[in-house]
Amino acid sequence: MIIAVDFDGTLHTAQYPKIGTPTPYAKKYMCKLADDGHYIIINTCRSGDFLVDAVNWLLAHELPFHRVNDNDPKNTEKYASNSRKIYAHVYIDDRQIGGLPTWHEIYEYITEVERKYQDKIKI
């Protein structure tokens, strides 16, 4: 699955433009998602030096990701376009309706969706 993950308020605890400590269990479950083979795109409104700071923070805290504010090249090729809107199967964002679930709940949800999808394609 392609998973788009917001940065501010989702992966760290501070308010933009500051960067705080990692959100509880974010690293653990981001690593599990990556280990499970998911493609992770950091989807943030940050730009310029603020974006550089965010990427450096992700690297320093060893949070896995494949791209930042950019689509999976396979989708860009498939649709002959690199849309500004990031294409993902799942979006993780503290601003989503109902707020941000715990990282454990996020992981369980994604695992269940992936299991159902895999079961479906086996038919």
Summarised one tens digit per residue, pLDDT across range 39-83 is: 999 999 999 999 999 999 999 999 999 999 999 999 899 989 898
Q: 38-75 in b/e burial notation, b at 16+ Cβ within 10 A?
A: bbbbbbbebeeeebeebbebbeeeebebebbbebbeeb
Domain map (residue ranges) of the chain: 2-121
pLDDT, tens digit (0-9, with 9 covering 90-100), for 6-49: 999 999 999 999 999 999 999 999 999 999 999 999 999 999 99
Nearest to 96 by CA among 48, 22, 43: 43
Own/partner pairs for 55-58, CB < 8 Å, 24+ apart?
Answer: 57/12, 57/19, 58/7, 58/11
Q: What is the mean pLDDT of the chain?
A: 95
Q: pLDDT band at residue 121, thresholds of 50, 70 and 90? A: confident
The topology (CATH level 3) of 2-121 is Rossmann fold (3.40.50)
0.95 exceeded by pTM = no
